[in-house]
Structures are given as C-alpha cells and as structure tokens.
Structure 1
Amino acid sequence: MSPISLVFQLLSCFIFLFSVATSQSILLPTDPLVHLSSVDPVSYNYPVIGIVSHPGDGASGRLSNATNVSYIAASYVKFVEAAGARVVPIVYNEPEETLLEKLRLVNGVLFTGGSAKTGPYFERIKKVFQIVLDRNDAGEHFPLLAICLGFELVTKAVSKDNNILERFSAQNQASILQFVDNAATNISIFQRFSPQLIEKLSTDCLAMQNHVSGISPQRLQTNDALSKFFRILTTTPDKNGKIYVSSVQAYNYPVTALQWHPEKNVFEWGVSAIPHSEDAVLVSQYVGNYFISEARKSSTRPSTKKVLDNLIYNYAPRFSGAIGRGFDEVYIFQ
C-alpha cells in the first residue's frame, strides 16, 4: 500500500469515528436534565436534633460532682451526626424560656438512656414530650426517638402511672429482637432493614440492652392509654427469660421508643457485651437514618445564626473511657 493510500485510509477512519461520537447526545454536568432532578423540594436537608441532657456527669462524679451538672453521652451526638443532622443540647435544668427557645430551633428530639426516673428531670421530660405532641397536633411533623430510660419515661408519661414499670434483668446484655408480626417491619423504624438483617436481628444478639426496668407486653396491652398510643414492634427476653417490650411506635405520632441502645454499637467501647459486628453497625446506621429522615419532614426553618450559637459544637467533649466502665466521651453542662 502506498503512503498516500495509507494516509487516506487513516483519515477516513478518523472521520467515521468522529461522526459516530457526535451523533450521540452528550449530557454535560450543567445540563438541566441531569442535575437536581431527584431532589425532594419538601425534604429539609439541614435537620437539627435536640438531645435532652441527663443529671450527673455520666461518670459517677469522677468528672464533676456539682449539684447542677448534667451530661449528654457523645455517642448520641455522633449517632445523630452520622445520619446527617446536627445537635442542639437541651440542658434539662435550664430556665423554661431557654428550653422553649431551643426547641424552636430543632426538627426533632432525642431522649437518652440514664437512671433518673423521678424529680425535676422527669418533669422536664414530660414537658418536652407534651411539646412534641402539641407540635404534631398543630400540623408539624416533629419526631421523637426515646432510648432506654427515654422509653421508660415516655411509658410513664403516656400511662400517667408512675408505677407502670416492672423489674427486669437486662444489664450489659446483647440480645435478639423478636418481631411481633411481619407488618411491623414495613411501617416502622425497621422499614429500611433488609429481610436478611431482620432475620439476623431475630437470631443474633445485635441489640445492646442495659436496663433493670421495663414493661411486659401484657401490662402494656392491658393499659388503655398505652395500648391506644403505642404499637408493639418487638419484644426481648431478659437474662432470666422474662419477656419485655423492646421497641414501640406510636400509632398517630412520629414517636418511636426503644428499650435498647442503637448508638452503642458504633460509638461505645467500654463494655465487652456491646456488639460491634458489621451487622450490628448496620442496625445502628439504619435506625439513625430513619430517625433523621423523619426530622427532614419537619417544617421548622430556624435562623442559621441562632442554630450556630446553640450547636453542641460550642462545647468540648470529655474523654471518660479511661476512668472506668461507662461512656467513652461525654459533654458536660453546668
């Protein structure tokens, strides 16, 4: 083949390839067909969660024994942040006007675990719980996630019975979750879980328990106020085989209460019973993602400056894991 023929053939090939490439539509990143098409205009992508502090320092007085001190375990903060939200601490013994102002800045509330079942703390939890219900009744989607002690105090508040709780042996225990029916996994906090992970929750100890109080299915179902307010999602046996309610969801409010600790699987390391397997971590992540997805439905659009002035970033966590079993880090307020 002559050099001229070779050049002509290469030129013809190039023209063919160019014509094929230019005959197809190429969508650039700025093309309106390919950006913002999947954004939900109703979803709020800057959600803020109010976490109510608990009396004490979280370390049996070894970090602070001041009478007015309260704390939030950092694991709850990280749990919320990992799902795409920020945190405003709701310090339980602040003046009521401060409490109300902070609640106007948030798109949902989290009640933590702990031990204070009576006194000013319980009264403040009841106050915040009523505000959650009132805001939902007024038309705002305003979710609450109540964990462990939070579960117990909401149970007391709904039933209006301070003696409703029973004794169980479930301290430092990883456990299964027994699902009451299949429908519970489709309309609740478990709706994002795969069937395989639901099955593993039923057979593997992926839920961390740490409580001595709770409520049995029989007592919840026979209490008129509780049975009308909450649907039982899961139950769990304690160390003696005694069955307690471990997960509930309100029928008419975005209120979920868990007797177990989804935040610990990812962010707490001081107790060997806490499950840290990949499946256990997935459980925590799905719970957090569900809760924050509910907060994104809130219509509250707070002032950016007021949010920044009140975020938990204005405080520094304290490392507490080296002084004994308990939380790895805590935020202290006094």
Structure 2
Amino acid sequence: MRFLILVLTVPAVYCVEWTRVPNDWPVIGVLIQEFGPPNISYIPSSYVKFVEAAGARVVPIHINRDGAYYQKILPQLNGVLFPGGSVGIENSGYAIAGRVIFEYALRANQRGEYFPLWGTCNGFEMLSFLAIDENVLTPCNAMNDPRPLKLTPYAKTSRLFGGLESDLLSHLTKENTTANFHEYCLTMTNFTKYGISQYYDPLSTNHDIDGLEYISSMEAKHYPFYAVQFHPEKNVFEWVNREGHSNIPHTEGAIEVAQFFARFFIDEARKSNHRMPSDIFERESIYNFQAEYTGHKSVFMQTYFFNE
C-alpha cells in the first residue's frame, strides 16, 4: 500500500498557500494507450483539444519506454492527463507507465513542486487502483448513459467543486451533462472497505442503468490529483452518432460543464513551475503527429496513432 505510507509520513501539500507567478505556457503530458495491433497505440484527438482549448500545449507520453525516458520528460511537464479507454489498469503498457507517472507525481508534490494529475474514465479507474495496489472495481452498466451528478458533502469544500457558480451547478446537478461510457464502477462500499477513502474524497455519485450507485468524481486529499468517471471531452469534441454511442450531450449546459473541467485542470497546471525548453517541445510535441479522421469506423472523430 505505497500511497498510504507516503500520505501519512509527508505534510499535506495544501497546508502551504500557493503564491508563485502563474505559468502561462503550461505543457500537459497525455498518456498513450495500446490500440490492439502489435506496437500500435493511440490518443483520441478530443483529449488533445480538451487541453488546448483551455490554454495548454500537449506532449504525448509514450508507453513501453525505459526509465530514463520518463525521468527526463516528466520534470519538464506541468501535469499529466490519463485518458479514457479500455485497457487493463494493472499490467498494460498504459498501466505500467501510469504507475511511473503516479509515483513521480507523489514525489514531486512532496518536494513542493506542484504537479497535477487528471484521470478520465479508464484514468479514474487506474488512479483508484494505484492508491491501494488493488483492483476493487465492480462490473456495471453505464454505457451511452448521460447523467447529472449527485454531489456529496465533500464537494462543497473541495478544490474541484467548491464555489461553483449557480448556473454551472445547475447544469451539473440537474441536467444530463456528463457522458458515461464505462463497464466498471467504483462503489462507495468498496471505496470505504478497501481504504481508498484514506487517499481520496468522493465528490459525486451516479447510478448506472441498473441502479448501482458508484463514485463519479473524486480528488486526492493531499495532492492535486483529480479523477472523473465520465467524459467531459466528448461533450465538445466527439460527434459520432450511432447505436451504442448516440447519447453524448451537446447542449449549451453540457458544453459549459466540459469547459469548466478543462479550465480547472489547466489552471492547476499553471501552478507548476516546471519548464520545457523550446527545442525539446518541438521534438516531443503532438504537433509532430497528424490526427486521422476515424469517425466512420470508431467512436472517435479523430485519432492520433503512434508506432511504439
């Protein structure tokens, strides 16, 4: 239980008020995932646009690299986004790289280097696993299922939801503005039973199609780590409309909700004083890759593919 030891022996990062000058050139690492064919991996372009629309730049973080690669690239980033998908959270290339990033983020924040993490769907699931080194997810039925959030008492004083304006709060809690596409859930029972509650606060819950209650968003108690089980990036950037993927909300309220989450994460990244030299950014940037139109054959309108 690696996270337990680190949390209990290090003073909480948030006891110190952040006073640095905001970084207006944040660079976010987006972790690549396996695709299926050998050595092929991908990032849906919606995650790249999600980050860029909030005022940051993107560097893809490759999988199946040696430790030297991660030791070099991570200190130059201002945060990492773990995207959604359907790969394993324990032994996949995505999971192995995710653990390296997670452990780096713990150490960086403990040194006083603000370094946020954001997990969406598969990323939410991996962050729950990494907290306790145990997969306690439950099979559920939450595919193609937009929902409002039911905020928990923790939300009011949370970094993520505390101080929400009334209009945005209404969109989040009264309208179907969060797009759910997942087959595994973190129940409140397992969240408490297995000790994930020692590391994260549950900020909202939802019910799946069959009535199972699950945690839909959470934030770490002592670190700038955030995770949502739904897909805010889809509201703005995914327009596939076929059976099994036809209920992505595109209302004005849904767009505002998506933009809120993107701005929040990038505002967190602006607190990081890491810098990536321009020559390294030019070499590592997502701009070196071309997104392909894939809306006719997948659930993503555009996709970046990589040969790993």
Structure 2 length-normalised TM: 0.88
Q: Which gives a bigger RCO, structure 1 or 2 (Cα 8 Å, sep 6+)?
A: 2
Q: Is the 8 A contact 1:192 1:290 kept in 2?
A: no
Paired-residue identity, %: 36
Aligned to 2:80: 109
Q: CA deviation at 1:120?
A: 3.4
Report SS of the residue matched to 1:245: strand
Is the counterpart of residue 135 in structure 1 residue 115 in structure 2? no
Is the counterpart of residue 236 in structure 1 residue 185 in structure 2? no
Q: Is the 8 A contact 1:235 1:245 kept in 2?
A: yes
Aligned to 1:21: none
1:202-247 CA-partner distances (Å, limit 9, x unpaired): 22110000001121112102222x1110000000000011100000
Is the counterpart of residue 178 in structure 1 residue 150 in structure 2? yes
Report SS of the residue matched to 2:254: helix
1:300 counterpart (271, 274, 278): 274
Is the counterpart of residue 90 in structure 1 residue 69 in structure 2? no
* One-letter identity of the residue aligned with 1:161: E
Q: Distance in 1 between matches of 2:173 and 2:92?
A: 38
Q: Distance in 1 between matches of 2:52 and 2:161?
A: 20
Q: CA deviation at 1:94?
A: 2.7
Report SS of the residue matched to 1:263: helix
Is the counterpart of residue 208 in structure 1 residue 182 in structure 2? no
2:254 counterpart (280, 289, 295): 280
Aligned residues: 283
* One-letter identity of the residue aligned with 1:219: N
Show the 5 A alignment for 1:184-333.
Answer: 184-191=155-162, 193-224=164-195, 226-270=196-240, 271-323=245-297, 325-333=298-306
Q: Distance in 2 between matches of 1:185 and 1:285?
A: 20
Q: Is the 8 A contact 1:53 1:71 kept in 2?
A: yes
* One-letter identity of the residue aligned with 1:261: H
Q: Is the 8 A contact 1:69 1:333 kept in 2?
A: yes
Q: Is the 8 A contact 2:41 2:306 kept in 1?
A: yes
Report SS of the residue matched to 2:92: helix
Q: CA deviation at 1:91?
A: 1.1
* One-letter identity of the residue aligned with 2:230: W
Report SS of the residue matched to 2:232: coil
- Larger CA Rg, structure 1 vs 2: 1
Q: CA deviation at 1:186?
A: 4.4
Q: Distance in 2 between matches of 1:236 and 1:104?
A: 36
Report SS of the residue matched to 2:231: coil
Aligned to 2:21: 42
CA RMSD of aligned residues (A): 1.5
1:55 counterpart (34, 37, 41): 34
Q: Is the 8 A contact 1:192 1:286 kept in 2?
A: no
Q: Distance in 2 between matches of 1:74 and 1:292?
A: 17
Structure 1 length-normalised TM: 0.81
Regions of 4+ moved over 4 Å: none
* One-letter identity of the residue aligned with 1:266: V
